[in-house]
Structure 1
Amino acid sequence: MTEGMDKRAIFDELMMTYGKDVWNYAYFMTKRRDLADDIVQDVFLKVYGHMDIFHGGTSVKSWLLTITRNTALDYLKTAWIRRVQLFPDRFRTETHLSAENEWFGNEEKRRIWKLVLELPRKQREVLLLATHYQMPMKEISDLLGLSEGTVKSRLYRARQAVGKQLADGVSERSERT
């Protein structure tokens, strides 16, 4: 990765390009902002020290997310996890909505993320990689060390669970009105 190029410039580019993705993934796995911050620092320290061993067998994003996942799992072995909600900037819209529409849109996103965060970690992780990071099944299976069939199965179950909870929430609201 660093042949003929300035290591610091490459590192800066990696941080600028993937820093937010690394933080979001760390946060999604730990559900704690402080741990996500620590994990990001550790990940990029590892990346800086090992940039010369990356030879392009996978995408740079997959490599970084694999390091992030492994680092987060190390943190989770000793960390106490508490429930929080995730609000990535990717969901901000460029058009100006009415205050009411914006509130309802944000409320729906919070509700969906809350449901996603309630999924078992294995389903939550696959759903995040497939939808938020738009990774292909092959890359997800390589990153997680699973067969593509297992990844597809977990993704299907995750989508079913979130869909069911959303449908249940809609029917509960319509019964109240």
Structure 2
Amino acid sequence: MNVDAEKHYVRYLAPGCDRDLVLEDLMTAYGEDVWNFAFFLTRRADAAGDISQDVFLIVYNRLYAFRGECSIKSWILGITRNKALNYRKNAFIRKVTLTGAWVPEPDRSPSAEQTAFRKLAARELWERVMALPMKFREAVILAYHLDLPIGEIAAALQVSEGTVKSRLYRAKRKMAALLEAETRGE
């Protein structure tokens, strides 16, 4: 969704607008990003689905509270982050969480060999990302998977832009160290 579309929502979010249509548009535009972000934070597909539903219920109920201080996308992803963190805080869920789940990449039509190598490389990369501590993982996902600018990441994570830059830098260093250790066979 582009900036003009963002302004469109801000301008028309007033009592009396058709929230159902606005919510449908937002779910179409950001539903996949919300699910992916929730999945990357919780590592569970079932939790990501539940969190996505909760997020859009909150968006629907708070639609008129959106003040336009950040983009709608970062506002929605901030809600997603909070719901995912609350989910992870639940002691029972922490004890039962299974790891190793992976969401397959959508199939495309290059050669089968190219597709297999691309999927393997992407899977290995995202497995490294998933091994990062939460604060680095969420910054990497927002920056490189969801393409948010630093300012919007800061708004979604409720931290300063400097903190986001630091987390991204440290995440890159950690991933480089992991890759180097794997190359050496450790």
TM-score range, shorter chain: 0.7 to 0.9
Separation in 2 of the partners of 1:167 and 1:109?
17
Q: Structure 1 residue 120: deviation in Å? A: 0.4
Q: Does residue 138 of the first structure (1) align with residue 145 of the second (2)?
A: no
Query: 2:144 aligned with 1:101, yes or no?
Result: no
Q: How does 1:26-175 map onto structure 2 within 5 Å?
A: 26-78=38-90, 79-80=93-94, 81-87=97-103, 89=105, 92=106, 96-172=109-185
CA distance in 1, matches of 2:57, 2:154: 25
1:99-152 Cα deviation digits (max 9, x unpaired): 222211111111111110000001101111111111111221222222222211
Q: Give CA deviations for 1:55-85 in whole Å, capped at 9, x if unaligned.
A: 2111000110011111111111112233234
The runs of at least 4 aligned residues of structure 1 exceeding 6 Å deviation read: none
CA contact (8 A) 1:85 1:114 kept: no
Query: Which deviates more, 136-145 or 102-111?
Result: 136-145
Against the structure 1 CA distance between its residues 88 and 138, is the aligned structure 2 distance closer, same or farther, given a 3 Å change threshold?
Answer: farther
User: Is there any run of 5+ residues in structure 2 with no aligned partner, and where?
Assistant: 1-9
SS, match of residue 107 in structure 1: helix
Q: Which residue of 2 aligns with 1:10?
A: 22
Is the contact between residue 35 and residue 48 of structure 2 (CA under 8 Å) also seen in structure 1? Answer: yes
Instruction: Provide the aligned length of Structure 1 versus Structure 2.
Output: 170
The C-alpha deviation readout for 1:39-59, integer Å capped at 9, x for no partner, is 011111111111111121110
Alpha-carbon distance in structure 2 between the residues aligned to 1:58 and 1:118: 29
Distance 1:85 1:156 in 2: 27
Query: Any conservation in 2 of the 1:116–1:162 contact (CA below 8 Å)?
Result: yes
Is the CA contact (8 Å cut-off) linking 2:78 and 2:155 kept in structure 1?
no
TM-score under structure 2 length normalisation = 0.83
**Please, what is the CA RMSD of the aligned residues?**
2.0
Select between 46-55 and 139-148 the one with higher mean Cα deviation.
139-148
